[in-house]
Structure 1
């Protein structure tokens, strides 16, 4: 059983209209992938706040997630992705980015909610 979380950066009033199609896209992905999962979306001013919110509020009753997977930043180099070439494509600038067909809802949510070195510290407060 998985909890698939998605952080949408911004203010609820500004991004609220994007949430319903994004949620439906995740639900379609879950059905197509035939996995058992809940889709959780949250709106937050920063990725750190959004991920902490997802970690602290996800789960069902006593069932709480015990593993968290965070996305890699968009500007990773080809060296980091050497083992994942089949799922990534290189742009004209030489940077490796996820292939569009492996990230079904990337276009709906705009840019990734995870960016910069601050993203790796998101679990500090939530996991202690």
Structure 2
């Protein structure tokens, strides 16, 4: 029996990000919070190079993805999924719109839509892998 909650969590968060990209209040709040998070590391590392600081987002995104994979309770799965989307979305937005280019996408929602979809893909793949792994383990019993 497959527990589909791992995939459902990723799909629900992806749907919320996709729908709200047309009025990107959630994404803008996440970006401001992510900027505050990166400012902490900017002070610690004594650098203002955003391309270097963006790898902090990548590191924490990978760590939260690993924590999502190993989480047993649904509350922790949701918490780690939201943390993963927070860091992954920040990473992708900084890569996509970047501080070096200084550009923005022509339709305002396109950048948020693309980053929301790309931020969900690793979470969705991790959920599918986790469910297939647990399905094979349960068949061994």
* More helix by percentage: 2
Greater fraction strand = 1
TM-score by length of 1: 0.26
Greater length-normalized contact order (CA 8 Å, ≥ 6 residues apart): 2
| CA radius of gyration, larger in | 2
